Amino acid sequence: MAHRDDPSDPSRRLEPVNLPGLEEQVQARLAEELGWYDARARENQRWYRAIKVVQLVAAALVPVMAGIGASAWITGGLGSLIVVLEGVQQLYQFQEHWIAYRTTWEGLRREQHLYEARGGDYATAASPPTLLAERVEALVAREHARWVSVQEAAARVQVQPRDG
């Protein structure tokens, strides 16, 4: 039979370890990250939707302008606008960032709800604030690694000068 202080005893309950101010620090960090990801997701969503609406309007105007006999400069300009806006979207990746930031925000909110309800792993954690801090930082690190990966891939795809 294991002694009650034996760390290998499965019936031994871990005592919570909460440093003074730890919960407040973790909650502040979580709130900061939730705010940042929410703001960035909204901003990227706005840019993506604005670009797409302008593209749709410009595309719809091309046949109308051609039908009424508008100058080739107008119809050509509308076509060029569509291409330039798509280039801006591809360059800045508004849709991809919107989805990634919103996904990270949702993950952070899930952890916040589980933590506040002391559900899931938080119910049995020796230190729920420490577990929350670890999970918040893991989500943020994962998003940062994804962002770096996308930036590196974009740098590799840059147009190379042609040999002439």
What pTM did the predictor assign?
0.78
Calculate helix-pair angle for 128-156, 22-67, nearest 10 degrees: 30
Domain boundaries, the chain: 23-153
Q: For position 151, what pLDDT does the model report?
A: 80
Short-list 110, 108, 89, 99, CA closest to 40 = 99
What are the tens digits of pLDDT across the range 95-136?
999 999 999 999 999 999 999 999 999 999 999 999 999 999
What are the tens digits of pLDDT across the range 147-160?
888 888 777 776 55
